[in-house]
Structures are given as C-alpha cells and as structure tokens.
Structure 1
Amino acid sequence: MIKKLVLATLVSMALQTQADTLQTEKVSLNLDPVVSGLKHPWGMAFLPDGSMLVTERNGGMLHVSADGKTKTSLQGLPAIAASGQGGLLDVALSPTFSQDNTVYFSFSEPGTGGSSTAVARAVIKGDTLANVSVIFSQLPKVDSRHHFGSRLVFDQQGQLFITMGDRGNQRQEAQNLANHIGTVVRINTDGSAAAGNPFSGKPDSKAEIWSYGHRNIQGAALHPATGALWTHEHGPQGGDEINIAQSGKNYGWPLITYGEEYGGGVIGKTKQDGLEQPLHYWVPSIAPSGMMFYAADLISGWKNNMLVGSLKFGQLVRLELNGNTVSHEERIMIGQRIRDVEQGPDGAVYLLTDSSDGQILRLSPTK
C-alpha cells in the first residue's frame, strides 16, 4: 500500500518574498507570492472575476483582489469559537453564485456544552455578509478545541457535503449514528437532509449522515470523471488516509487504523470485516490538509492528478491515479505548512499557507 516516495528537488525557503523555481518530476514551476499578512488562513474560493474569498481561523473573512494588492474584510459573520483548531474554516461558492451571490462557510459554533462544526450561508453585498443563516450544526456540542473537519463540497446535483471530525475526545462516537461525530453529512442548501441519504428514516440515526467512522477530514474533492467524493483524513500518529466516501459505508475509526496513540500504543486493528480499507495511507503522517483534482492544461503532466497539502512537512503532494489506486507519489517541498490547495481560473495552482503571516502562493510553469 505504501508507495515509494519520489522526492522533487528540495528548495529551502523560510517566508516567501519573491518568486522561486521548483524543478518537479514533470515540469519546472515558478512559485510566486500573491499576498501575505494572512492570519492562519484556512479556506479559499475563487470568485468569477478571479478575486478570492479567504477565511482566517481567528474569525476574519477577506476579499482579496486577483493581483493580491487589496484585501477587504467582510462584515456580518456570526459568533465564532476561535480557539485551538476551531475558528472560521472553509468557504465555498453556491453553485448558482452568478445569480444569487451566495456563499457557504464552516466554523466552530459556540453553544451549550461547548462548540461544534456549523455551516452558514450568506449573500455578499459589497463588503457585508447579509442574510446570514446557520443551516447546519453538528450535534452534540462538546468541550473540545480539536478535530472540526469542516471541508465543504457541492456535488453534481447541488447538494452539500460537509466533512467533520471526532472532536478529539469523542472518538468512540464516530461509530454512533445517533450523532454527527466523525461523519460526512449530505444536506440540501436549506440544511435539510438530502434525499437518498442512507440512514434517513432509520431509528437512532441522523438523516443527514452520508458516511461515518472518520477521524478528522480536512480534504475533500469530487472526482472529475465519476463525481464521487474523495476525502483524506488525519491519522493519530501515522495512518493518514485517502478514501472515497460512499453512501452508508463505515471507515472504521477508531476500530481500525494504521496509526497509533501519540507517544505509542495500539488503538485498534488495521483490518476488520465490514469496515472500509483506505485507498492509500501515510506512515509517518504528513498531516494532510486541502485537496483537489487538477483539471487544467496549464501545468503539463499534472492533469487529473490529485494534489494534497502537507502541514507537517511543508510539502505539496502530487498523486497519480490508476482508477481508484494511487500509482505514484511525488513530494514537492514548499517549505511552509500548506492548509489549502485550489485551482485558479487561470489554470495555476494556488496554495494557502498556515501561519500568523500566512500567504497565497501561485504555482505556474516557468517560461
């Protein structure tokens, strides 16, 4: 399962202040800073004009111009529990954004008992988020600052997948269908459970649940050919996983894992009947965050490859696929914690770096 890692030429860098050149297996790339001064940015979405919405974990949402020269703070966010791994997290445009200017964003919502992952929608009017409405709140709220998950992906029918975590101290609840801990949910844009969800109408089960047994999913994307939801999730100490999140399937946490307790110690088995095996896993952990399928022609040799950010090693991980199998892996050293990976309207790859002086970096072919 574990593929031999082929390292690209490593380029040592501290904070990016000017363009660098990266020689990868397929192509030579420029790594250009677009904007800096972001406070632990977490999610990014491109608007039709090439500008970007960027979330900051401390509770700020910014509108960044396409050239990175202007940053405008958007007003109107709800109360956010910005602590630990919680805060303002992912952002996604409505599938009908060009008609309704609506955006969706995930965040850690404070409430009775602690906090939980929540999703709100709002309409952008100038520099304001108007008509803000919380459409989903993970239940229950718990006293924890960890494992919020929070990636947002619209499927081909316009329904919304939300990835979540086990909240760090609730791992056994990832096997309990009576709550949303450690699940992927699938909802309509008004927050109701999507038709055809596997546990709808079943006793002691949440109708919103799509799949379960997840630890902490911080990367998700639709496969460009099949439309299936691919995800990756953090393992405890080793055992980061790539999965295809399928309706009704149990991905095993914490009953099976290729990781171990922090500091050592067995958590569970690696395999068990009825529980899904990962398509690919990493030991040691790379701490994956952000994920996309590259669909443009600009970067030669990368089309239909999966790109994953690494928080732990400061790398961009490029994965070649043969059907549902990872056939090759390349590690490209960026030198900063990569929180999100997105394809821009220009076909370039944009990286969001996680620090108190975070950046948007642009990868494009050298001339």
Structure 2
Amino acid sequence: MLIPSSLRLRARIARSLIGVLAALAAAPVIAQPVVRSEAANFRISTVASGLETPWSLAFLPDGNMLVTERPGRLRVVTPDGKLSAPIRNVPRVHAAGQGGLLDVVIGPDFARDRLIWLSFAQPTQKGARTAVARARLDESALSLQDVEVVFAQRDDPEGRNHWGSRLVFDRDGNLFVTLGDRYSHRDSAQDVGSHLGKIVRIRPDGGIPPDNPFVGKTGALPEIWSFGHRNVQGAALHPVTGKLWANEHGPQGGDEVNVVRAGANYGWPVITYGKEYVTGFSIGEGTQRADVVPPVRYWVPSIAPSGMTFYTGDAFPKWKGNLFVGALRGQLLVRIELDGEKFVREERLLTELGSRIRDVRQGPDGKLYLLDETEGRILRLDPG
C-alpha cells in the first residue's frame, strides 16, 4: 500500500522535531549572563538547591561541603550539588527566631582526626544560649561521633535573637567564638563578667589560652577576647597579618567591620552609629570615645552584614586582598578594597538577585561560594 506524500511529509517533520528536542535535552545548560563589575566580571552558577535556611558552609578535603540548616540539620553536599540525608547525632537546637544550628568549621588537623566544631542555640530550662560542640565526622556513615559541648554561655535569657555564633580558628589553633547580646540585654555587652556581646577565645577542648587578655583579672571571664559587640555574624582571619576581623549588626544603621584586638572595647551600646528602632533616637553617648576602637567601615543605613571572607585565590586576580561581606537586609554582596587596615572603597554586587546572602567562602578552586538564604541555594561566582 502506498503512503500518501502528505503523510510521508508529516512523518519526516515529526522525526525532525523529535531529533531537535533530543538534541536540546542533551545540550549543556546555557551559561549565565556575565555580571560586569569594576574589577572582575563573573557569572553566577547554582551549585545546589533545596536547602532550608542555610547558615554556614565549610569545605572538606575531598571536595565535598558541609552545610548547616538553621532548623537543626547538617548535610554533606557534593561538588555537583547532591544533598545528603541529614547527618545523625547533631546536638538538639533551639530553632526559634534567629536561633538554631548555625556555624560549622573543620579543625586544623581534620585530615587526621576528622574533628569539626558546630555553634548552635542550645535550649536550657530557663531559655537558651549560644554553645559550641566538637564532634568527629563519619562522612561515609553520615554520622557524628564523640559529640561534646566544649563551650556554653553562662547567660541563658529568654528571647529569639542575636546569637552571634561565627567560629574562626587562629594560627595557634585556638578558637574564636562570637556571642551576641541577645537583643534585650544589650547593657551586658559592657560587662566583662558576662558572655553577652563578646568574642571569646578558647582552646579546641574548651580550655582557656593563658595569654587571653582577661586571664587573672578580678570580675572578668578569662575566655573573653573583646567586648562591646552587638551581634557578630561574620568573621575571618586576615591572610597576611593573621588578625581576626569581624562584622556586626547595628540597629537602624551602625553596622560595623572591625579589626578585633585583644582586650579592646567596641562600644556597644554606649558608642554606636545606630538608632533606636521605634523612636529613631540616638543610642548611648555618641559615635566616638577615646577608649573605644572605631570601626574600619560602618554602614548607615544598615545592610545587615553576615558571613565574610578575604579573597586570596587566582580565579579573580584583581580581587586579591579584597574583603567580601554578605548582606541580609541589603540583599547583596559587598566587595571592600583596603589599604592595610584602612577602608578605601566598596562595590555592591548581586543587587539584582534579591536574596539574603548568609555566608561567603572561598573554595579550593579559588572561586567564591555563597549561601543564598532566601532561595536555599549554594551559589558560585565563576570568572566571566
């Protein structure tokens, strides 16, 4: 039986369409448009999605990533974006307001001992407090072993906000822990007998380094490194000097970037550029005082700074030495140029995303990785 030419034509068209669709399905994803910045153009790639309120990112030696989710989950994420099931034996957290499972860092000898440290809002009978746990990671079993709380704030007030919680190892192997003022207890930030509004420095097992600035001083907690902080949610070591740098939230302005010095007072709530939320009135005595360390950079109005890192990679040569700060309320990434410890200028990036940037890390490939809290994604900046 002969097939009419019109039917043969339709069959050929159908086969052609199937071939085109198959080719499109097999084709690589079209590269994202180039984002043009002042120092280096880049593209934004989505590494992984499906996370719930991601808070912190840490790279493992095998190329995988550890990611915390604030409701209380810790996951392994592969370089191609696959999410593991939640890791077992994570400490129970107070997942309310800004609290939950927060920072994660791997130890200096992780390749040998597999130790990691987690910061979290720890529930207590009275309320909750910022705490730090050490554990051994069994990546193949997706489990934590030998979990031990090595530090917990003395203060455990009620409330949902200002937990601090960034963790940074110094070059001597000691651990910096940032502690918020818990919002309603801001006056305690000036009291060195309280953990609220402080940065502390402990040994990995929770012991006290003997060269801490308040060791042996009456009425002071020996683990305190600096005081007068509001809510430090970003911290990193300077790659050249080894000094701790940190950023913190101010109220209605007064966000700060600081070089954190031993025993120093950073002013909150007595010296600040911030204003009261309801009245808009000034807070404290003013913006400067001789015994208070001034910020390297401050923002008015507030951008709500979070995770940050110094860039040292080769993927973006013109970014070397720049400080990158993620912003929550500002929904952007700030690139800061420095001259030593002096602010030179800043560039605001990713404003078109409309996402709260919770963490910023440099990957082993020399690229920048970001946690997009709004969409639950890990983003990567690739050279453009």
Asked whether the two chains share a fold, i.e. TM above 0.5, the reply is yes
Q: Equivalent of 1:161, from 152, 163, 176?
A: 176
User: Which residue of structure 2 aligns with residue 174 of structure 1?
Assistant: 189
Give how far 1:20 is off.
4.1
For 2:276, the equivalent position in structure 1 comes to 261
Question: CA–CA distance in 2 between the matches of 1:30 and 1:271?
Answer: 41
Whole-Å separation in 2 of the counterparts to 1:38 and 1:167: 26
CA spacing shift, 1:70–1:113, aligned 2, 3 Å: closer
Runs of 4+ with >6 A deviation: none
> Pick from 347, 356, 372: which aligns with 1:353?
372
Distance in 2 between the 1:142 and 1:70 partners? 35
From 74, 89, 104, the counterpart of 1:91: 104
CA distance in 1, matches of 2:175, 2:328: 26
Whether 1:284 aligns to 2:301 is: yes
The structure carrying a bigger strand percent of its residues is 1
Quote how far apart the aligned CAs of 1:279 are: 1.1
Equivalent in the alignment of 1:307: 324
Structure with the bigger percentage of helix: 2
Residue 120 (structure 1) shift:
0.2
Cα 1:124–1:235, aligned 2, differ >3 Å: closer, same or farther?
same
Pairwise mapping of residues 41-80 of structure 1 onto structure 2 (< 5 A)?
A: 41-80=54-93
Aligned to 1:226: 241
CA-to-aligned-CA distance 1:56-91 (integer Å, 9 cap, x gap) = 000000000111124332000112100000000000
Partner SS state of residue 147, structure 1: coil
SS of the residue corresponding to residue 186 of structure 1 reads strand
Match of 1:342 among 361, 365, 369: 361
Q: TM-score, normalized by length of structure 1?
A: 0.93
Q: Any conservation in 2 of the 1:26–1:300 contact (CA below 8 Å)?
A: no
Q: Tell me, what secondary structure is at the counterpart of 1:339?
A: strand
Residues 1-367 of structure 1 correspond to what in structure 2 (within 5 A)? 19-125=32-138, 126-263=141-278, 264-268=280-284, 269-333=286-350, 334-355=353-374, 357-366=375-384
Query: For 1:149-190, what per-residue CA distance to the aligned partner results, in whole angstroms no more than 9, with x for missing partners?
Result: 000000000100001110001000001111110000000011
Deviation at 1:272, TM superposition (A): 1.7
Instruction: Report how far residue 18 of structure 1 moved.
Output: 7.6
Q: Deviations over 1:280-300 (max 9, x none)?
A: 100111100001000111113
One-letter code of the match for 1:364? Answer: D
Deviation at 1:362, TM superposition (A): 0.4
1: CA distance between counterparts of 2:226 and 2:372? 29
Q: Is the 8 A contact 1:86 1:146 kept in 2?
A: yes
CA deviation profile, 1:4-29 (whole Å, cap 9, x unmatched): xxxxxxxxxxxxx9834311111220
Q: Distance in 2 between matches of 1:193 and 1:175?
A: 21
Higher Cα Rg, which structure: 2
Identity of aligned residues (%): 51
Name which of structure 1's ranges 83-92 and 68-77 shifts more when overlaid on structure 2: 68-77
CA contact (8 A) 1:88 1:107 kept: yes
Report the secondary structure of 2:57's partner residue.
strand
1:246–1:237 Cα change, 3 Å: same
Structure 2 residue aligned with 1:13? none
Q: In the alignment, is the contact (CA less than 8 A) between 1:240 and 1:288 conserved in 2?
A: yes
8 Å CA contact 2:53, 2:373 repeated in 1:
yes
8 A contact 2:302–2:330 mirrored in 1? no
Deviation at 1:266, TM superposition (A): 1.6
Gaps of 5+ in 2: 1-29
What TM-score results when the alignment is normalised by the length of structure 2? 0.89
Contact kept in structure 2, 1:165 and 1:183, CA below 8 Å: yes
Task: Decide whether the 8 Å contact of 2:48 with 2:82 is kept in 1.
Answer: yes
Residue type of the alignment partner of 1:237? Q
Equivalent pairs, count: 349
SS in 2 for 1:227: coil
Structure 2 equivalent of residue 4 of structure 1: none
